[in-house]
Structure 1
């Protein structure tokens, strides 16, 4: 059966190879702005991943397994998406500095042959060290924060800010491998 990753994320592509070596990519055109944040981060990321998976499902005709994911950073119940400007990135990193935040990933898998759909959420706690303005500005100058939820990448230069994590490291990167592996076993049944 064809396996499809509904994502253009380089990080997700690199991680999925650890579970499945042969898969196709069909990027979802789902408009994430259609899903309003109503205060429940778990529900929000689950809805986003489901929207992405259903969008790709409409683009294909052959039996397939579709994998879609969405990852957000949350602090104090507020969602920190991808920064729109360097000042926005600075402000995000400033509020993450010295605090513990949560990284949520919603994963949806659709088996188009039997119409089975499962959606799960993984949450990881991440504690940042206290950051100086100079550290934040140097990091922003790398441009790495600009396409990352919460304005940092744990697998890149931003990893130096992480003092402690509780939960799945790969969730923070963008694709919780252990959860995904278990979900794939369930969807094939």
Structure 2
């Protein structure tokens, strides 16, 4: 059966290649703003990933397994998505400086033949060291934070800010491989 990744993320594509030999990429056109945050981070990222999977499923004619994922950074009761400006990226990084935050990813795997849908989420705790204004400005000027939830990439230059991690590293990168592998095996997909 054909496997489709419903994502524009190069990082997700790179990670999925570690467990799946062949797959296609179809970018979802799901409007993430259509899902209101109601206070539960796990439910929120699942709804986002489900929306992405459904969006792609409506455009696919053949039988396929669609994999969709959405990742957010949570600090206190706030959701930090991708920054819309350099100023917002600076504010996000200042907020994360010297504290522990959570990274949540929602996963949805949909079988278009059987209509079976499996959803789950993963949470990872990430502790940042205290950041100087200069470090933050230099990192933001690199451009790396602009397409990443929470305005940092652990696999890139933002990794130097991470003092401690408790949970799945690949979740922080954007695709929790262990949980995805578990879901796929539960759906009878032998990788």
Which residue number corresponds to residue 137 of structure 1? 137
Distance 1:188 1:33 in 2: 33
Secondary structure (helix, strand or coil) at the match of 1:145 reads helix
1:59-104 CA-partner distances (Å, limit 9, x unpaired): 0121100000000000002100111111100000001000000000
Secondary structure (helix, strand or coil) at the match of 1:163 reads strand
Which residue number corresponds to residue 88 of structure 1? 88
More displaced 10-residue stretch of structure 1: 151-160 or 57-66: 57-66
Which residue number corresponds to residue 23 of structure 1? 23
Query: Residue 10 in 1 paired to residue 4 in 2?
Result: no
Secondary structure (helix, strand or coil) at the match of 1:51 reads helix
Aligned length: 189
- 1:164-179 pair list within 5 angstroms: 164-179=164-179
Distance 1:13 1:178 in 2: 15
Shift of 1:135: 0.5
Which residue number corresponds to residue 153 of structure 2? 153
Secondary structure (helix, strand or coil) at the match of 1:188 reads coil
Which residue number corresponds to residue 36 of structure 1? 36
Query: Residue 72 in 1 paired to residue 72 in 2?
Result: yes
- 1:48-59 pair list within 5 angstroms: 48-59=48-59
Secondary structure (helix, strand or coil) at the match of 2:187 reads helix
- Structure 1's unaligned 5+ residue stretches are none
Distance 2:8 2:83 in 1: 18
Distance 2:71 2:155 in 1: 14
Moved over 2 A (4+): none
Distance 1:52 1:85 in 2: 24
Shift of 1:46: 0.3
- Across the aligned residues of Structure 1 and Structure 2, the Cα RMSD in angstroms comes to 0.7
Shift of 1:141: 1.0
Distance 2:61 2:141 in 1: 44
Shift of 1:188: 2.4
Distance 1:81 1:4 in 2: 24
Distance 2:24 2:39 in 1: 34
Shift of 1:44: 0.5
